[in-house]
A and B are shown apart, each in its own frame.
Chain A
Amino acid sequence: MPPSYIITDVGSTTTKAILVGPEGRGARLLGRAEAPTTVEKPFEDVTVGVRSALRRLEEVVGRELVPEICRTPGEETRGQYWYLSTSSAGGGLQILVYGLTKSVTADSARRAALGGGAIILDVMATDDGRQGFVKMDAVRNCRPDMVLIAGGLDGGNIQYVLEVCDVLNAAKPRPRFGSDFRIPVIYAGNKDASETVRDTLSDLYDLTVVDNLRPTLEREVLGPARNAIHELFMSHVMQQAPGYGQLSTWVDEDILPTPAAVGRIMELVAQRQGTNILGVDIGGATTDVFSVIDGTFFRSVSANLGMSYSSGNVLVEAGLDNIVRWLPFNISPYRVADRILTKLIHPTTLPGSEQDLQIEQALATEAVRLAFSQHRTVAVLLPRKASFISTRFFAEGRTGTHEQVAEAIDVSKIGLFVGSGGALSHAPRRNQAALMLLNALQPEGKTFFSVDSVFMMPHLGVLSGLDPDAALNVLEKDCLVPLGPVIAPAVVGTLGQPAVSVSLTVDGERITALVNAGDIRVIPLAQGHKAKVEVEPLGQTGFRGMRRFEFDTVGGTVGVIVDARGRPIPLPADPEERARANARWATQIGAYDLHGEPAKAGDLE
């Protein structure tokens, strides 16, 4: 009989438990429940929250689960269920990163830490413009779970790496959990310095030496550092966190940091579907962006962009005008700021009116836009071939480097966008999620939108390591809600004139729709129904060189979305006119029933 899996994700505020087991032809989600996480006082033991979530799951599925996994030491497993878990409780895995120069090894180390599922506390580099004492104070105050040191291409000068080690010795950062705990340090730098680094750091830290993550300018080897992060997370950090010692005896596989698990399932999806994918998870405090581009996984964490705790930061970073520009009504920007700051001070409140919801969605649009923009700086390609001079004479350190990296992300080459997090997953209408993704990410060409129904991706990520088929089946059938295919020309002609002709052939029946420049149109195609789509650009409309093209697709909850507004989306400068345009687009995509007219300002004051 195929196995069943109990999987928990111990988050900062809630512990989410799911049961996956055989149903019909494959594995399906059999139940889901959640309970508050108990990492802080008065419990200070995550297993209390895990038990509580499992008891609730027992009620949902009508089976006894707790005795199956909550074993006392030495007690044998009953063998009916596999138990797996991910964790981001207590702020997740927090890493301090060192490199030599900002643009080379510090950047590679940052990518390794992000790929390992970490929250980055700080990235230190010799050329980061900060005085030594400022960095030392920063190290002293940051209380990391782990330190990752990269630095020096193989064969280069080792003095700078050793200075980094000396300063780390001088700063003596304290660990976040446990006063006697020796902070794990991963050294992934110049191999010539390995032994000396070991000698310098071993007195104070628990040192692990792995392969250089940037052995040459044009080569990046992040795998060993990422694996070391996962191993040390489980063997050191988790053992110090309240209750994890016990939890780690219950699980049948290593506990994964939550973002690492999400990354794992994204990689698997990209691999199985043979497409580039981009996922956005907008939380209360942070927004994570994941992408898999041509088989390479990238992750960024925008630690200050979120919908509740970080709403004030979105306001500051995006600017009030940029939030207001997505609203389907005209309002004083300060009234919008009042509402956003109210969300900041009462992070758990929900919108009380449709206008409040629209303000939250405008905020979410900007948070995703900014997080995506930050992600593009992380998802980069290394220089393909180093110049003769840099290979011959360059040693990272004293001279620094200005080798150019290229952006890996081209929005016209992403086959699947996945939205997750409360603002996207729990939007009252899926069409609203589609509009937020369209406005924030501004995809081009043809792509597909999905949202995560109940944020199960971490669970499926950890499951994918053990049973990838089960993970993918649940992902497809129970987790991802397809919104629909998206067709978006980059260039359109005169507003109001036909820009693109889209024909759908469903069960032999053909429907053709003409979409005008400046409009959004949804062509109905029920969820799961297959269709052949033919797209013909008209007039000056351009799909980056593509003329007429066709593809096979399936419908989603929204339908086939044709966005003929052009890129970047042309927003009128006049506030009244802009509100009218937003109201029209919101109506066209089915996000709101505004009949193309902005809401009355009187409703809002």
Chain B
Amino acid sequence: MKPESLTYFRQIPASASILVAVGDRVQADTVVAKIEALPGRMARVNAASTIGVEPRDLPKRMIKKAGDHVKAGETLAARSEFFDRRAVRCPVDGVISAVSRNLGNVYIREIVDLGESTGPVTVQAARELRIPPRELEFNRAPGVRVGTLVARGQVLAAIDRDLPRHKMVTSPIYGRIREIDVEKGTITIIPAFPSPDVKAYIRGRVTAVIPDTGIEISGGGTRLEGVWGLGGEAFGPLHVIRGDLASPVQADQGAILAVQGTASHDALLAARDSGVAGAILGYMPSETVLSLVGDHANLGITGDDDVPYPIIVMEGFHPVPMREQVFSALLKHEGETVSMRGVTHIRAGVIRPEVILHSIDDGGEVM
């Protein structure tokens, strides 16, 4: 298990500030970009009929074109003939996605602020609509169900939709619906991007910056591949435990636990309460897996999971402790910052979870 050259490309969504330049040295947890906005809902404006032209003539009347950023209230298209002056205004801040020459529509992709939310948000839907909690089931908007993505401002539930007195509740964030609780009358949403910070992930140097696309970082380290994992990325000082994790752990805030054997469901939750940021386990029995992710999770494609923190399994699901060679490598890096990623794709183009033990050299070169 020797250090090797590592290169990672850190992708950024549509709108982000890049905070580094080519040649900069970065640590694993250095913030290299900040996400500012995300693509949101699609707005459609029938511009041709608004300004009174044939759909086919709309492209000639457009003041903005496909790909342009537009602000709410800006003129999209206009017609001026004698005393007949008409214009169509943009209803939202966004980017023009397409102009239809057969229907006369302009399609605008809304751009929404990322917002401040980093954790799940619970909407008191029944209370806001003043309906009994159980009636939420019948009043949720079409397509609003567990697992679906919702945009900020999207209607989650409504009553009396066709009447003047109609009421509705909307999503405060761009995220995925985690739970619709008809006992409490609530809808819980997990942010699609829990943090605006895009981190370097490995220690090294910035070797390329591609605006609106991403940042390439090259460095050195030892990559330990697990067999299966849950959750996204985590960084933190390594805290190694011999045997199993049975009782609450005394670890630094933000630590990554490396457990030679396994950890029970309760021990994993208790570790979260102690501020643990990630766990590397020798093995994890399926009983613990299913109690963590539920009976309906796609176990072959993970990364987006609703788990307390990222978890990596090094050996499997049978009671086999971590291989000595791997455990020794982790022991050698005890107390140092490591990076880990639980994402697993078991299919063609397989992705396995990984732990990166960074080389001591500050420049991230292979020693």
Residues of A near any B CB (own CB < 8 A): 12, 91, 129-134, 136-137, 159, 162-163, 165-167, 169-171, 196, 199-200, 285, 304, 309-313, 315-316, 319-320, 334, 337-338, 340-342, 344-347
Contact = CB atoms under 8 A, between A and B. Distances in A.
Given A129-B142, A316-B298, A345-B346, A338 B318 contact: yes
Nearest to B100: A166
A130 B148 contact: yes
Given A200-B102, A313-B299, A338-B286, A345 B42 contact: no
B254 to A, nearest CB: 28
Nearest to B313: A345
A498 B149 CA distance: 58
B288 to A, nearest CB: 9
Nearest to A340: B286
Contacts of A342: 316-318
B290 interface: yes
Interface in B297-320: 297-300, 316-318
B283 to A, nearest CB: 9
CB-CB nearest 8 A-B residue pairs: A312-B299, A337-B286, A170-B97, A170-B98, A129-B143, A334-B287, A338-B317, A132-B42
Given A167-B107, A334-B286, A338-B317, A133 B151 contact: yes
A396 B86 CA distance: 34
Contacts of B347: 285, 309
Contact of B41 (A133, A167, A334): A133
Contact of A130 (B102, B143, B290): B143
B185 interface: no
Given A312-B299, A334-B287, A345-B227, A132 B41 contact: yes
B151 A131 contact: yes
A164 to B, nearest CB: 11
A312 B148 contact: no
A313 B300 contact: yes
Interface in B258-298: 285-287, 289-290, 295-298
18 contacts: A131-B149, A133-B39, A133-B42, A133-B151, A162-B102, A166-B105, A170-B98, A170-B107, A285-B348, A304-B298, A320-B295, A334-B285, A340-B286, A344-B228, A344-B299, A344-B300, A344-B346, A345-B316
A199 B102 contact: yes
Contact of B107 (A166, A312, A313): A166
A451 to B, nearest CB: 26
Contact of B149 (A134, A316, A344): A134
A170 B299 contact: no
Contacts of A309: 300, 346-348
A137 B149 CA distance: 10
B13 to A, nearest CB: 11
Nearest to B297: A316
A131 B148 CA distance: 10
B101 A200 contact: yes
B109 interface: yes
B109 A133 contact: yes
A122 to B, nearest CB: 14
Interface of B is mostly: loop
Nearest to A336: B286
A461 to B, nearest CB: 23
Interface of B: 39-42, 97-98, 100-103, 105, 107, 109-110, 142-143, 145, 148-151, 154, 227-228, 285-287, 289-290, 295-300, 316-318, 346-348
Contacts of B289: 337, 341
A18 to B, nearest CB: 24
B24 to A, nearest CB: 30
Nearest to B284: A341
B299 A341 contact: yes
A198 B100 CA distance: 13
B224 to A, nearest CB: 15
Given A309-B300, A338-B286, A134 B346 contact: no
A169 B148 contact: no
A344 B352 CA distance: 12
Given A12-B348, A133-B109, A166-B103, A345 B228 contact: yes
Nearest to B294: A316
Contacts of B109: 133, 136, 170
A134 B296 contact: no
A163 B41 contact: no
A346 B227 CA distance: 8
B161 to A, nearest CB: 16
Given A337-B286, A347-B346, A136 B317 contact: no
Contact of B290 (A12, A129, A131, A337): A337
A345 B302 CA distance: 12
Nearest to A200: B102
B299 A316 contact: yes
B41 A159 contact: no
Given A137-B39, A166-B102, A345-B316, 20 more contacts: A131-B154, A134-B148, A159-B103, A166-B105, A167-B42, A169-B100, A170-B109, A199-B101, A309-B347, A310-B300, A312-B300, A316-B297, A316-B299, A334-B287, A337-B287, A337-B290, A338-B286, A340-B286, A341-B289, A342-B318
Contacts of A315: 299
A309 B299 CA distance: 10
Contacts of A311: 300
A166 B43 CA distance: 13
B287 A196 contact: no
Most chain B CB atoms below 10 A, which of A159, A169, A341? A341
Contacts of B143: 129-131, 134
B298 A312 contact: yes
Contacts of A170: 42, 97-98, 107, 109
Nearest to B319: A338
B287 A200 contact: no
A159 B46 CA distance: 12
Contacts of B298: 304, 312-313, 316
Contacts of A133: 39-42, 109-110, 151
B348 A91 contact: yes
Given A137-B149, A313-B300, A341 B317 contact: yes
Contacts of A167: 42, 98, 107
A264 B249 CA distance: 62
Contacts of A200: 100-102
B39 to A, nearest CB: 7
A166 B98 contact: yes
A91 B150 CA distance: 30
Contacts of A334: 285-287, 290
A347 B101 CA distance: 51
B346 A312 contact: yes
Contacts of B39: 133, 137
A199 B102 CA distance: 8
Contacts of A344: 228, 299-300, 346
Nearest to B347: A309
Contacts of B300: 309-313, 344
A169 B98 contact: yes
Nearest to A335: B286
Nearest to B300: A312
